[in-house]
Amino acid sequence: MSVRVALIGCGVMGADHARILAEDVSGAVLQVICDADQERARQVAEHCDTKDLSDDAEGVIFRKDVDAVMIASPDDTHVPLILAALSAGKPVLCEKPLSQDSMECLRVVEAETGLGRRLVTVGYMRRFDLPYARMKLALEDGSLGRAVMMHNFHRNVHAPPSFTGQMAITNSAPHEFDVVRFVLGTEFSAVSVFQAKCGVSGPTGAPVVMILETYEGQLVTVEVNVNAVYGYDVRAELVGEKGSMSMNVPSPVALNRDLTSLERFPADWRPRFHEAYRLQNKDWINSVLTGSPSKIGASAWDGYCASAVAEASVQSLSENRKIKIRLAEMPKLYRI
Ligand code: ISE
């Protein structure tokens, strides 16, 4: 049995998802690739041996020969397309963020709750990244003791010119907001945000540091620097009462020669998280085949939480004060 997938959006992420589905995930068939830029869609389709192209996003969602929908189109199209997929009763994997507006995220939560079954997965793929999974396991098996703090570093080489300083918070940091919730298994209660002063930032914004508190009394730091220049460097250290766990990144190997130890940083997130994307997409196809929601993949509720924390963080930065994070009540559908 296979899952016929409609892919909507084949920019950087969509093209990567297309290749992963076509080459790395058995049980998935790329039934149709949809993009406003038909030439771009044709190139991706050719590479993935997909016959059918379209520029009608809503149309492909309702096609009878489409079983599931993958959304990798611009952020502001995510919620309308997810709502269409829900009205068609089709499972959907949508790239992060669910929406930059937490109230808009709640529209998806409400629609899915009304359906009474979970069909939405949000592409916070770090849940499938081995180092984060090992941290979660170290808390579950007691080897670290109770979690006390988690320090997170999220550094991009350069952000695109369109990337304002706030997008370091609304576009990049939601990865940490989600994966820290996943690892610690708790919610954030407050956030304080600070921004450095540095010349290199320009319109894309200087580095930001967020200090988050959890309802369990833990402290979480998140540094996002979208102009780190030296490499794509994403890592974390989890501190427990019995010890700590840090990540050996960027590379699983170091080349040692000429009195030097060399590790290379990737230029962007795709090499660093290739395996996480593959596992996420494989897990999603399996959940569609079995009809039971993933135990790891981020739900619409998780997508709402990440966006709500991002909004509070933007408010903290602009008002230069600590902001309490107040979430809506979690519907029963999302209680595992
Ligand atoms: C980008 O959208 C991603 O999702 C990457 O994983 C993240 O590292 C990058 O900062 C974001 O801009």
Give the model's pLDDT for residue 262. Answer: 96
Token reading at 115: 């359906």
- Site to substitute for ligand 1 among 94, 175, 208, 249, most atoms within 8 A of C-beta: 175
Regarding whether 40 and 119 lie in a shared domain, the answer is yes
**Mean per-residue pLDDT, 76-97:** 98
* 269 CB near ligand 1 (under 6 Å): yes
Q: Evaluate whether 323 touches 190 at the Cβ level (below 8 Å).
A: yes
Q: Give distance in angstroms: CA of 22 to centre of ligand 1.
A: 23
- pLDDT in the model for residue 335: 93
Quickly state the pLDDT bin for 166 (edges 50, 70, 90).
confident
Ligand 1 within 6 A of CB of 175: yes
Strand-strand pairing, 233-240 and 147-155: antiparallel
Name the residue at shortest CA distance from atom 1 of ligand 1.
172
Could you tell me the pLDDT band of residue 206, with boundaries at 50, 70 and 90?
confident
In this predicted structure, what is the pLDDT of residue 203? Answer: 64
172 CB near ligand 1 (under 6 Å): yes
Site of tokens 């369109």: 162
Q: How far apart are the first and last CA of the chain?
A: 28
Q: In this structure, what token pair is assigned to residue 116?
A: 């009474």
Q: Is the CB of 152 under 6 A from ligand 1?
A: no
User: How far is the C-alpha of 36 from the C-alpha of 56, rounded, in Å?
Assistant: 8
Pairing of β 219-225 and β 208-214: antiparallel
The CA distance from 275 to 132, in Å, is: 13
Q: Which residue's CA is the nearest one to ligand 1's atom 5?
A: 269
User: pLDDT tens digit string along 259-268?
Assistant: 999 999 999 9
Average pLDDT over residues 304-332: 97
Is 336 among the domain residues? no
With a cut of 70, say whether residue 201 has pLDDT above it.
no
Whether residue 161 has pLDDT greater than 80 = no
HSE toward the beta carbon, residue 114, CA cutoff 13 A = 10
Please give the model's pTM, rounded to 2 decimal places: 0.96
Of the pLDDT bands very low, low, confident and very high (cuts 50, 70, 90), residue 213 is very high
Residues 105 and 30 in one domain: yes
Q: In the Cβ-directed half-sphere of 34, how many Cα atoms lie within 13 Å?
A: 24
d(CA 317, CA 164): 14
Phi, psi of 184 (to 5 degrees): -80, -25
Give the residue whose CA is nearest to atom 10 of ligand 1.
172
Ligand 1 within 6 A of CB of 100: no
**Alpha carbon nearest to ligand 1 atom 6, residue:** 269
Question: In this model, does residue 10 exceed pLDDT 90?
Answer: yes
Do 222 and 280 fall into the same domain?
Answer: no
**pLDDT tens per residue, range 277-286:** 999 999 999 9
Tokens of 232: 């794509």
pLDDT, position 237: 98
The mean of the pLDDT values for the chain is: 95
pLDDT for 198 equals: 76
Coil, helix or strand for 318?
helix
| Residue 234 alpha carbon, nearest atom of ligand 1 | 8
Domain of 82, CATH number, reads 3.40.50.720
Question: Is residue 299 domain-resident?
Answer: no
Average pLDDT over residues 8-19: 96
Sheet architecture: strand order including 28-34: 52-54, 28-34, 3-8, 68-71, 92-94, 120-122
Report which ligand 1 atom has the smallest distance to the Cα of 126.
Answer: 6
Segment 28-52 mean pLDDT: 94
Answer yes or no: is 259 within a domain: yes
For residue 100, the one-letter residue type is Q
Q: What is the tally of structural domains in the chain?
A: 2
What's the 319 CA to ligand 1 centre distance in angstroms? 25
Q: Are 62 and 46 in contact (CB under 8 A)?
A: no
Full residue range of the structural domain in which residue 94 is found? 3-125+274-291
Q: How far is the CA of 269 from the CAs of 122, 125, 171, 235, 310, in angstroms?
A: 17, 11, 13, 12, 20
Same domain? For 144 and 120 the reply is no
171 CB under 6 A from ligand 1?
yes
Is residue 221 domain-resident? yes
Query: For the residues 293-318, what does the mean pLDDT come to?
Result: 97
In angstroms, the CA 295 to CA 317 distance is 34
